């Protein structure tokens, strides 16, 4: 058996089980624990996992607790949020748009996730205040009662100062040619700046938002790097894949 096959097996097992044990791997791969240890060592060196006594755990936080990971929610938003979690890693700076999708994501944040969050959403700030380690920056401004987010010039100014790794965008409407659009001019402006201030943009969009358009433009469809959706196999997502956007 090639070494690469072992490494591949280890990473795959890690992805499904969220942990690997040296004793198990030694048995699975029919090699000594020393060899497994050296394999884990090399994977740890390239940052693909974290080696711990007795085995290894993923570098990125675990989507669900080790105990109750059995209960998979059917809920679309929850489903999307779980997929989005994989993009988060310690040390990152994240912009979080308002909306229920992003709020669901925030609720899944594991306690040991060390990131900085910039957001204009009041519910997200309330939720993250409970989090033990995440640093939260709220973009000031007039609070919209419907959207429960801050808006206006001050919000935009603060966002312009940010260089984030990822922007998670809650989506109103998504269209292959019209791009991302919204119902309110002010909110669309804020979202635009969020996209511009992040290195990468990940849109959270249920499939029913796809192929629709609203009056105010947020960004071009090609500004999106990834679309997280509840069902990436539907025909309505095809146009986005063809544009080279990752859809999961």
Partner DNA sequence: AAATATTCTGCAATATTTCGCAAAATATCG
Partner DNA sequence: CGATATTTTGCGAAATATTGCAGAATATTT
- Which residues in this chain contact DNA in the complex, by CB under 7 A? 3, 6, 22-23, 31-35, 37-39, 41, 51-55
Spatial separation of the C-alpha atoms in residues 149 and 108, rounded to whole Å: 20
The stretch among 58-66, 173-181, 197-205, 239-247 that binds its own copies (CB under 8 A) is 58-66
Q: How far is the CB of 47 from its own copies (least distance, A)?
A: 8
Q: Which is nearer to its own copies, 155 or 173 (CB)?
A: 155
Residues 168, 204 contacting (CB under 8 angstroms): yes
Q: Residue from 33, 38, 42, 111 that binds its own copies (CB under 8 A)?
A: 111
Q: Which is nearer to its own copies, 142 or 183 (CB)?
A: 142
Q: How far is the CB of 159 from its own copies (least distance, A)?
A: 9
C-alpha closest to that of 170 among 190, 153, 154, 185: 190
CB-based burial label for 54 (10 Å; 0-12, 13-18, 19+): exposed
The stretch among 90-98, 127-135, 191-199, 226-234 that binds its own copies (CB under 8 A) is 127-135
Spatial separation of the C-alpha atoms in residues 124 and 96, rounded to whole Å: 8
Residue with tokens 């060196």: 45
Per-residue contact string for residues 141-170; x = within reach of its own copies by CB under 8 A:
xxx-x--x-x---xx--x------------
Q: Which is nearer to its own copies, 12 or 238 (CB)?
A: 12
Q: Which is nearer to its own copies, 161 or 238 (CB)?
A: 161
Q: Which is nearer to its own copies, 91 or 244 (CB)?
A: 91
Q: Residue from 32, 34, 38, 54 that binds its own copies (CB under 8 A)?
A: 54
CA dist list (Å): 68 to 65, 76, 89, 107: 6, 19, 22, 15
Spatial separation of the C-alpha atoms in residues 78 and 74, rounded to whole Å: 7
Both tokens assigned to 237: 């997502």
């Amino acid at each position: 058996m090639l070494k690469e096959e072992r490494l591949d097996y280890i990473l795959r097992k890690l992805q499904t089980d969220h942990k690997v044990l040296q004793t198990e791997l030694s048995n699975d791969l029919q090699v000594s624990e020393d060899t497994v240890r050296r394999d884990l060592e090399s994977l740890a060196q390239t940052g693909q996992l974290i080696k711990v006594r007795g085995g290894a755990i993923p570098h990125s936080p675990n989507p669900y607790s080790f105990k109750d990971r059995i209960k998979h929610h059917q809920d679309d938003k929850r489903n999307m949020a779980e997929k989005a979690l994989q993009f988060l890693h310690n040390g990152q700076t994240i912009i979080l748009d308002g909306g229920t999708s992003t709020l669901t994501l925030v609720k899944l944040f594991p306690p040991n996730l060390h990131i900085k969050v910039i957001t204009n959403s009041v519910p997200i700030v309330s939720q993250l205040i409970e989090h033990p380690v995440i640093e939260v920056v709220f973009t000031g401004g007039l609070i919209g009662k419907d959207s429960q987010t801050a808006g206006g010039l001050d919000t935009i100014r603060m966002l312009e100062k940010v260089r984030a790794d990822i922007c998670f965008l809650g989506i109103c409407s998504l269209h292959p040619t019209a791009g991302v659009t919204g119902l309110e001019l002010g909110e669309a402006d804020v979202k635009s700046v969020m996209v511009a201030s992040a290195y990468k943009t990940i849109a959270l969009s249920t499939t029913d938002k796809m192929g629709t358009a609203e009056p105010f433009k947020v960004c071009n469809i090609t500004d999106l790097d990834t679309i997280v959706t509840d069902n990436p196999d539907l025909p309505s997502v095809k146009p986005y894949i063809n544009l080279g956007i990752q859809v999961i």
